[in-house]
Structure 1
Amino acid sequence: MSRPVLVLDLDGTVCLGDTPVLLYAARVAALTGAPEALLETTEAFLGHRLPETAPKTLIGAQDGYEAVKILGLAAGVSEEELSAAYVWSRAAMSEQPGDIRTPDGLVDLLSGIDAHRVIMTNSPGSGLDAILEHLGLRDVVDEVRTDALKPTRMRGHLDHFLDVSGLADRPEWLMSVGDIWRNDLAPAVERGCVAAYVDAFDRRQGPAHVRAGTLVGLYSAVSDWSNDPSAFIAAHPLKESVQC
């Protein structure tokens, strides 16, 4: 019997903390004429306390990385420079993990479910082993996919897992969990997979089968799904706005 496949996003889902975004912001800010302003606005965004004077374009930012990108582009930083700053920040995080952590109880959850557990991230592979070791996740995941190029290649990744696991006719046996709807969940919804939305900023961007403000709020859903994916999706039909 095939095992269900659990696909987990990294940043904002299983890896919490402001350090990754702040490292990225610091690198981008150094390329601008007003670095303090960019850093202050980034910190305000992360703290859910944007002042009225903040750029309106930040209101729709999906996470801290997108907020920094918006601020950097507005300050004249190029796409190429932003990409290089992101790669640098990931390498730096492996040596300066700062406040990164997993949600409480995640290791126990992943240890206790019978599923092929995958971390799927747009992050480069360099330094990621050290990050996963710091987070305590190396022994409770079966596969890590880096440089995933979500959302562009997410459909292909999901198709691969469905095919190799013999689940092409049972897509509900794959659950994708993430905090960016267009990256992690839209491709899953298209394929009939289960979408579990960590909607930390209450964006309600699109439909999901289950939704909560934190991954912890989805633990019971993940556990129930892993025990019986078909029964789970029957009990949790796709909804535009759902809250666990």
Structure 2
Amino acid sequence: MSTRTNTLVFDFDGTISLGHGPVLAYANGIAEALPADSATTLLDELATGLAAHPSGRVPGTDAIDGYGYVRELAITHGATEDTLSTAYLASRERLATLDAAISAPDGLAAFLAEARASANLILATNAPATRIPEALELLGLTDAFDEIHTSVGKPAGLDAILDRWLPEGRVLAIGDVWTNDLEPAHRRGASTALVTGTLPDVDGAVAAGASDDDAASERTITPDFAAATLDELYPVILDWLAWELR
């Protein structure tokens, strides 16, 4: 049992793992199953959308991230659910390879080592466990986390992790999608830190992929902390960790 009373809950894709590599691997897998013209159009549309909106949260769509944007495009070009599922699982098999390259935010390993002195570090992702250990090794984060949870099923699945750690003390949830990564924690009284990507000027919930209905409702919540990149949040998170010592 840890004696640390603070807990940081991190998302994976788009938070500690950066880059379009996995999303492009997903799109390429879908394209292989489509007619040539549809495949070309899909990849061209994706390139244009990601160039303008690197987070994958493209205005006029319901996508909350790059995977969601690929899915929406693919369906318009006739991709089936079986095709989408097969391509997604294949993309995760390529995670942290040249076919699905990723990188870590600047200084992440050193930051986590410092934070771990006073916090339990939890990784919680909706992605399957496939190649997560290899990805963490590539990112320089082997053994950086106290617990790793995969196939979490966020947003609802985050509650089990919150059930475990909220009784121990303060919890700060950190992620790039308000609806999945942060809203459940906010609802339970935990603190939240949003990585907004390239949309820091947009309200937190909307920038993180909330629907228009969410934006018009009480669920549109500005997070406790927000910055375009995770490394910009390091000082804020360390201050949050030190607050109870003051």
Normalising TM by the smaller chain, what interval?
0.7 to 0.9
* Higher mean C-alpha displacement, 94-103 vs 115-124: 94-103
Please state whether the residue corresponding to 1:112 is helix, strand or coil. helix
Summarize deviations over 1:203-239 as a string: whole Å, max 9, x none. 53232101111111211111111122597xxxxxxxx
> Is 1:75 aligned with 2:77?
yes
> Is 1:157 aligned with 2:161?
yes
> Is 1:199 aligned with 2:196?
yes
> Is 1:142 aligned with 2:157?
no
Change (3 A) 1:229 1:184: farther
Structure 1 counterpart of 2:216: none
Deviation at 1:87, TM superposition (A): 1.4
Summarize deviations over 1:102-134 as a string: whole Å, max 9, x none. 010111110111211111111111211111101
Structure 2 counterpart of 1:223: 238
Is this contact kept in 2: 1:57–1:70, CA < 8 A?
no
Is this contact kept in 1: 2:25–2:99, CA < 8 A?
no
Inter-partner Cα distance in structure 2 for 1:78 and 1:230: 54
Please state whether the residue corresponding to 1:122 is helix, strand or coil. coil
Matched ranges for 1:105-184 at <5 A: 105-113=107-115, 114-163=118-167, 166-167=168-169, 173-184=170-181
Inter-partner Cα distance in structure 1 for 2:10 and 2:196: 14
Deviation at 1:79, TM superposition (A): 2.8
Deviation at 1:84, TM superposition (A): 2.4
Structure 1 counterpart of 2:184: 187
Give ranges in structure 1 of 5+ residues lacking alignment. 168-172, 232-244
Residue 41 (structure 2) aligned to one of 14, 37, 45? 37
* Higher mean C-alpha displacement, 31-40 vs 99-108: 31-40
Change (3 A) 1:227 1:141: same
Give ranges in structure 2 of 5+ residues lacking alignment. 206-219
Residue 11 (structure 1) aligned to one of 13, 27, 34? 13
Please state whether the residue corresponding to 2:174 is helix, strand or coil. strand
Inter-partner Cα distance in structure 1 for 2:149 and 2:59: 34
Summarize deviations over 1:68-116 as a string: whole Å, max 9, x none. 0111111222234322221110111244365411010111110111211
Q: Structure 2 counterpart of 1:138, which letter? A: T
Residue 48 (structure 1) aligned to one of 30, 45, 52? 52
Please state whether the residue corresponding to 2:173 is helix, strand or coil. strand
Is this contact kept in 1: 2:24–2:100, CA < 8 A?
no
Is this contact kept in 2: 1:122–1:149, CA < 8 A?
yes
Inter-partner Cα distance in structure 1 for 2:49 and 2:197: 12
Inter-partner Cα distance in structure 2 for 1:192 and 1:25: 37
Q: Structure 2 counterpart of 1:135, which letter? A: L
RMSD: 2.2
Inter-partner Cα distance in structure 2 for 1:145 and 1:162: 16
Inter-partner Cα distance in structure 2 for 1:74 and 1:160: 41
Q: Structure 1 counterpart of 2:138, which letter? A: H
Summarize deviations over 1:39-96 as a string: whole Å, max 9, x none. 122222222269xxxx9643x5322111101111112222343222211101112443
Task: Give TM-score scaled by structure 2 length.
Answer: 0.81
Structure 2 counterpart of 1:21: 23
Inter-partner Cα distance in structure 2 for 1:87 and 1:24: 8
Is this contact kept in 2: 1:42–1:64, CA < 8 A?
no
Q: Structure 2 counterpart of 1:18, which letter? A: H
